[in-house]
Amino acid sequence: MTNIPFSPLRHFARLAFLAFLLTFVASRTLVILIMTRRMPDLFLHMGGTHVHHLNYGIFLLATVAGVLLFARLNQAQQSLCALFYGVGMALTFDEFGMWLHLGGSYWQRASFDAVVVVLSVLGLLAFAPRWKRLRAHHFAVGGVVLLTVAGFSVLLIKSLGHANEKLMPKLIEIEESGPG
């Protein structure tokens, strides 16, 4: 086995990927539990306005950017920033559809698509082989994976369309009957 040198980029991307994934799953789970009244209402309301969690994500991303720009950080502190970056990205992109369309339902398909794209980019940064190490077999496997993903995407889009017809009315009903 060859000794692969430590790569801060890959390390930070893996931390951000993990934080993003766990935060996305946690936020969706909490929203469902709150809206179905299986958990107390943790939503922040200011002056009668529901403050969506994308706002927390934006403030977190701005804070991380400021810290990275204006502070000298060691490796551990940079790792912590990578974790907070992943959390901020998840909170923001979980409600991507709402800021793209300036409102609407929490369950917009655009939010799910945005999360998949961000996770894919972070996943590639974190786990793809380094460019200098790519060989012919990597391109062959990559082509097969690309074709498989394309086929899976077509099936997924068709099944999500069907699921959307069945699930969306129920999700909107839950959202409307949930706490403000």
| pLDDT per residue as tens, the chain (180 positions) | 455 556 788 899 999 999 999 999 999 899 888 888 888 888 888 888 878 889 999 999 999 999 999 999 999 999 999 999 999 999 999 988 888 777 777 777 778 888 888 888 888 788 776 766 667 776 777 777 777 767 776 776 666 666 667 777 777 777 777 776
Domain boundaries along the sequence of the chain: 8-177
Q: How far is 109 from 18, CA to CA, in rounded Å? A: 22
Pull the structure tokens for residue 28. Answer: 């969706």
Instruction: Name which of 54, 150, 128 is nearest 97 in CA terms.
Output: 54
Q: How far is 15 from 86, CA to CA, in rounded Å? A: 7
Strand, coil or helix: what is 83?
helix
The interaxial angle of helices 8-35 and 136-177, nearest 10 deg, is 20
Q: Which pTM was predicted?
A: 0.73
